[in-house]
Amino acid sequence: MYVAIAGNIGSGKTTLTEILTKRYGAKAYYEESDNPYIGDFYNNMSRWAFQLQIAFLGSRIGQTVEMLSSADKNIFQDRTIYEDAHIFASNLHEMGLMTSRDFTTYMRIFDLTTHLIPKPDVLIYLRASIPTLVEQIKRRGRAYEMNIDEEYLSRLNDKYEYWINNVYQGEVLIIDKDTDDFVVDSRVVDSICDRLEKIVASKK
């Protein structure tokens, strides 16, 4: 069972990955949190957008190679390579923070890579409103995230909704983080697992 967890900054992807990994005794693959460009990016997005996204893409490719060679039956991945391209890089390009030349180069590398990547059996999408995202970003207190603009988060939310509803082709399990708090209510975790197992079972 290969499950990927998608969602905006602060939606709770890492936390849910940890919870489900423990529940299933699975292998977790987390998003790189020490990207060498991330602090510079949040201070000057147009200067560092391309470098940031290329660094994330390279990290994701390396992670995928490791996943492909893994003997683990159950794998949970914190964010996907698809989000890097269709959400973050695309948004930066539309905002004028990544040039068309850089975006074209990025997408060429992305397109080559995706032919080597297995699609998740299930994609869990964590949907969350801007107030929820802002609250969780402040709560975890990462210094480089303190200057994230709410309009930027809102644009990403719009991108996620479009991607989930119109682009991504695969099984999707949607969790509303505004109402279903899997951190404080174990019943929500039970419900997520029940829904997840039903989807996986239906594909066999």
d(CA 187, CA 191): 6
Catalytic residue annotation: 78
Classified as helix, coil or strand, 138 is: helix
d(CA 2, CA 68): 11
In 33-99, which residue ranges form alpha helices assigned H by DSSP? 38-43, 45-68, 81-83, 90-94
What spatial distance separates the first Cα and last Cα of the chain, rounded to whole Å? 11
Classified as helix, coil or strand, 95 is: coil
Q: CB within 8 A of 113, min separation 6: which ones? A: 57, 60, 61, 64, 81
